[in-house]
Amino acid sequence: MGLGKRYSGYQSFDYLKETRDFGDYGLIEGESLFEPYLVPLSEEEEERVLDLAGRLVMISLHEHPHVFPTDPGQIRRYDSEGRVYTAYEALANSYWDCVFDNFQDGAAFITSKSGWKWDDVIYDMGMRLCDLAHQDFLIKCETTADIHRAHREGRIALVAAQEGAAMIENELDRIEILYGIGLRVLGITYSESNALGTGLKETRDGGLTSFGRKAVARMNEVGMAIDCAHSSDQTTRDVVEASRHPIFLTHTGARGLWDIRRLAPDDVIRAVADNGGVIGIEAAPHTTVTERRPRHDIESFMEHFEYVKDLVGIDHVAFGPDTIYGDHVALHGVYAEALSIDETQAGGGGGAPRHVPVEYVRGVENPTEGSKNILRWLVKHRYGEEEIAKVLGGNILRVLEEVWQ
């Protein structure tokens, strides 16, 4: 039920309105700061979109569905308070039945200027999940049954995820603690190396460590899905080999179309798919562009989708747009060092490839717009219902049903 969501009007941290003890940061209103765009369709295609949106289970494999300040200069202070707003109303206008929420990942600077500290991650997750517990629209998703329930009831299942595992340090038991809190997807690394393995920003690729293999085994044992979207090529290959379950690349694209470290080469995409895994296509600014379409928009994004689909088949590709409600380009500017933007967008020779700088990604700028335009694009390009059902949710559910058990 992508349409007619059961949203009653709750806003983040409404339960504290009478005793507000945090700042007012001028958060964006509505869904976007930029001009909205919908893929143009015929009347017949519009009817098909609405029919499919109402019947299919639609899942975004990677988002940050948070509301940010209109003034980029306020972002660091806003994040440091730990009360990042969830975009309940904007999500209610989307087609998604389930969203993988990656919290503040490396930008949770509550007790540290460097990020990825255990205290910061627990603080961030605890505050967000407390907010979630005070409303009745989003469902804290811990099983595939929760996803199907959200679809039936006109709600959205929110899957708690973290993009990297640096905060577990050398403590395997922290995987269980995170699972107990509600985390269901954990990345091996976030761009820079940690105790588990090599991140994709590094110039020397050491792959998965001995401790990393133990961590993979523990994640398999507790039922934690594994993400290698920010891991190095060799680390990803090693994780595929070490894991007894399929893994995700929750948000990436094809290096074969655009040669930057942030995107996955063909052999890594094949390795993940050969083990039953799924590759989610991302839309964070200046990532999934191509030589034919160097300006980042829905068309370049979908070119990466079709490349991966043609490479490994329709059963192994999905969408993890990696979008926010705010100025994503400006946010990358604020957190360029923490998010390793320069290193991960560097080309194979070390320099960043040429692309057209954009203020926003036209057609996939936020989770709401992305949910609508991905389906519209697929309908416009005459994909069949079975194919659409797979890439918009079915493939992800197949992996989760095995991993989450």
Alpha helices (H) along 85-232: 88-92, 118-133, 144-153, 173-181, 210-222
Share of the chain above pLDDT 70, in %: 98
pLDDT given for residue 19 in this prediction: 66
Q: Please indicate, yes or no, if residue 96 is contained in any of the structural domains.
A: yes
Helices H, strands E: what count in the chain? 15, 11
Residue 286: which CATH number? Answer: 3.20.20.140
Distances (CA, A) of 384 to 58, 226, 391: 15, 30, 11
Mean pLDDT taken over the chain: 94
Q: Please indicate, yes or no, if residue 9 is contained in any of the structural domains.
A: no
pLDDT given for residue 24 in this prediction: 85
Q: Please indicate, yes or no, if residue 259 is contained in any of the structural domains.
A: yes
Q: Please indicate, yes or no, if residue 8 is contained in any of the structural domains.
A: no
Question: Stretch 63-68: mean pLDDT, rounded?
Answer: 96
Share of the chain above pLDDT 90, in %: 85
Question: Stretch 193-215: mean pLDDT, rounded?
Answer: 97
- What is the secondary structure of 241-310 as a DSSP string? HH-SS--EEEEE-BTTTS--TTSBPHHHHHHHHHTT-EEEE--STTSS--SS--B-BHHHHHHHHHHHHH
Q: Please indicate, yes or no, if residue 2 is contained in any of the structural domains.
A: no
pLDDT given for residue 1 in this prediction: 64
Q: Which helix (H) or strand (E) holds 402?
A: helix 395-403
pLDDT tens, residue by residue, 3-34: 889 999 999 999 887 666 778 899 999 999 99
Q: Please indicate, yes or no, if residue 160 is contained in any of the structural domains.
A: yes
Of 25-29, 141-145, 148-152, the poorest mean pLDDT is in: 25-29
Alpha-carbon torsion 299, 303, 305, 306, what sign? positive
pLDDT tens, residue by residue, 2-11: 788 999 999 9
Domain range for residue 108? 14-403
Q: How many domains does the chain have?
A: 1
pLDDT tens, residue by residue, 287-330: 999 999 999 999 999 999 999 999 999 999 999 999 999 999 99
pLDDT tens, residue by residue, 246-283: 999 999 999 999 999 999 999 999 999 999 999 999 99
CA–CA dist 74, 28 (Å, integer) = 12
Q: Which helix (H) or strand (E) holds 342?
A: helix 341-344
pLDDT given for residue 340 in this prediction: 83
Alpha-carbon torsion 195, 196, 200, 206, what sign? positive
pLDDT tens, residue by residue, 39-65: 999 999 999 999 999 999 999 999 999
Q: Please indicate, yes or no, if residue 1 is contained in any of the structural domains.
A: no
pLDDT tens, residue by residue, 217-228: 999 999 999 999
pLDDT tens, residue by residue, 288-300: 999 999 999 999 9
Q: Please indicate, yes or no, if residue 131 is contained in any of the structural domains.
A: yes
The CA-based dihedral angle spanning residues 58, 64, 68, 72, taken in that order and rounded to the nearest 10 degrees: -130
Task: Kindly give the pairing relationship between strand 66-67 and strand 85-86.
Answer: antiparallel
- Phi and psi dihedrals of 373, rounded to 5? -75, -30
